[in-house]
Amino acid sequence: MDDFTVTPWKVEGVIDYDRLVERFGVRRMTGDVRARLARAAGGSHHLIDRGIFFSHRDLDAILKTAEGGGRFFMYTGRGPSGTTHIGHLVPWILARWLQERFGATVYFQLTDDEKFFAKPGLTLEEAGGHALDNALDFAALGFDPDRTRIMIDTRDIAALYPIAARVAKKITFSSTKATFGFTGETNIGMIFYTALQSAPCFIEDAPVLIPLGVDQDPHFRLTRDVAPVLGKPKPALIHSMMMPGLGGGGGKMSSSGDDAILLSDDPRTVEKKIKKRAFSGGRTDVAEHRRLGGDPDVDVSFQYLRFLFEPDDSKLERLREEYASGRMLTGELKQILIEKANGFLEEHRARREEIRPDLGSYMFG
């Protein structure tokens, strides 16, 4: 029996990515496809090189389009249930880099309706407020305003609905039930919603590439089944691993409470969270640690450096060796993360304020 769950609304247990690849029927990012992407892009990205984007669907088709000088566009999104945390950034940072390398337009869907349907305590107004705040986080990563269209479902529904209707007609209740585990108690907003998340895939007459957390894959399995019926190419996907929460353990960072580093956390909060909560791959005492070394693979501080905060491969490798050999203690590694994370977040917040007056130029509507 499987001991982990990965769906758009629930990630539980320790994710075994090899088994997930089999379960979802996705393709591993092989060395070949990585090299082909790097050639087409004229360079590589640490999120690809380090295997954090570990699988894909039809990335080869997108690369073929790009190699032939053809156009593709990109799409990703966010369910605005609250403040953005650092785990949300992983697919967005790759999208930004791909936009820069390929000059592709990026659609970003903020699903205020979805979070309203999914979260019993959340009002539609609250979700709408988070959507605007999340939009600012997205835009602040350095997207090109001329090639970026941020959509909010309830606001931009006139553009999305005709597409969603065509998709919805081709998805049966049994297939959504089978895909998401819906029951008779599920509200009908949720049941329809996957059609709306599909809509941006078909908004342009070109193939689409979607960088996303692997938990969102089930939606696009349905979309991909419908695409040929609508006479459209199947959306291509590139999946990231889920960034662990501070508590570690191979699941995903949850937005709630103390498990996440929020983009709004001030330097003191970041320091406290990392010191108190970041799961350590260190040993029980210093002598043991010096003798046996730490385990960077389970150490959350090391993992945050690997995912986001130390893009320089040689520096990251040095940290890995220092830590694994026992020369570096968990406290020292945490201090490095605290400084890097706070530097990143301060720069991010400055960038947010810089572009705040221009947010309108990134919006679809």
Binding residues vs ligand TRP (CB under 6 A)? 8, 75-79, 109, 111, 114, 197, 210, 212, 216
- The dihedral over CA atoms of 138, 143, 145, 148, expressed in degrees to the nearest 10, equals -70
Q: Are 111 and 197 in contact (CB under 8 A)?
A: yes
CB of 108 to ligand TRP, least distance (A): 8
Burial per residue of 335-363, b for 16 or more beta-carbon CB atoms within 10 angstroms, e otherwise: ebbbebbbebbeebeebbeebeeebeebb
Shortest distance, position 175 Cβ to ligand TRP, whole Å: 18
As given in the structure block, the two tokens for residue 184 are: 């008779």
The full DSSP string for 34-55 is: HHHHHHHHTS--HHHHTTSEEE
Q: Which residues contact 114 (CB under 8 A, 6 or more apart)?
A: 79, 153, 190, 193, 196, 197
Residue 76 or 330 with smaller CB distance to ligand TRP: 76
What is the smallest separation between the CB atom of 116 and ligand TRP, expressed in angstroms? 12
- Residue 361: CB minimum distance to ligand TRP, A: 21
Q: Which residues pair with 78 in a beta bridge?
A: 110
Answer whether 216's CB lies under 8 Å from 8's CB: yes
To the nearest whole angstrom, how small is the minimum distance from the Cβ of residue 347 to ligand TRP? Answer: 24
- Give dist(CA 278, CA 300) in Å, integer: 6
- Nearer Cβ to ligand TRP, position 110 or 305? 110
Annotate 226-264 with DSSP letters as a single string: HGGGGT-PPPEEEEEPPPPPTT-SSS---SSGGGS-BTT
Q: Indicate the residue among 7 and 175 with the shorter CB distance to ligand TRP.
A: 7
Compute the least distance from the CB of residue 75 to ligand TRP, in Å: 6
HSE value, Cβ hemisphere, 13 Å, CA-based, for 64: 6
Indicate the residue among 7 and 269 with the shorter CB distance to ligand TRP.
7
Judged by beta carbon, residue 78 or residue 96, the one nearer ligand TRP is: 78
Residue with tokens 């605007």: 132
Nearer to ligand TRP, 8 or 244 (CB): 8
Say which DSSP state 357 is in.
Answer: G
Q: To the nearest whole angstrom, how small is the minimum distance from the Cβ of residue 114 to ligand TRP? A: 6
The nearest distance, CB 71 to ligand TRP, in angstroms, is 20
Q: In the complex, what is the shortest distance from the CB of residue 84 to ligand TRP, in angstroms, rounded to a whole number?
A: 11
56 in Cβ contact with 25 (< 8 Å):
no
Q: Which is nearer to ligand TRP, 210 or 263 (CB)?
A: 210
Could you give the C-alpha distances from 62 to 76, 210, 344, in angstroms and in order?
16, 11, 31
Bridge pairing between strands 10-12 and 5-7? antiparallel
Cβ-based nearer residue to ligand TRP, 111 or 301: 111
Choose between 218 and 244: whose C-beta lies nearer to ligand TRP. 218
Identify the CA nearest to 193 among candidates 230, 222, 155.
Answer: 222
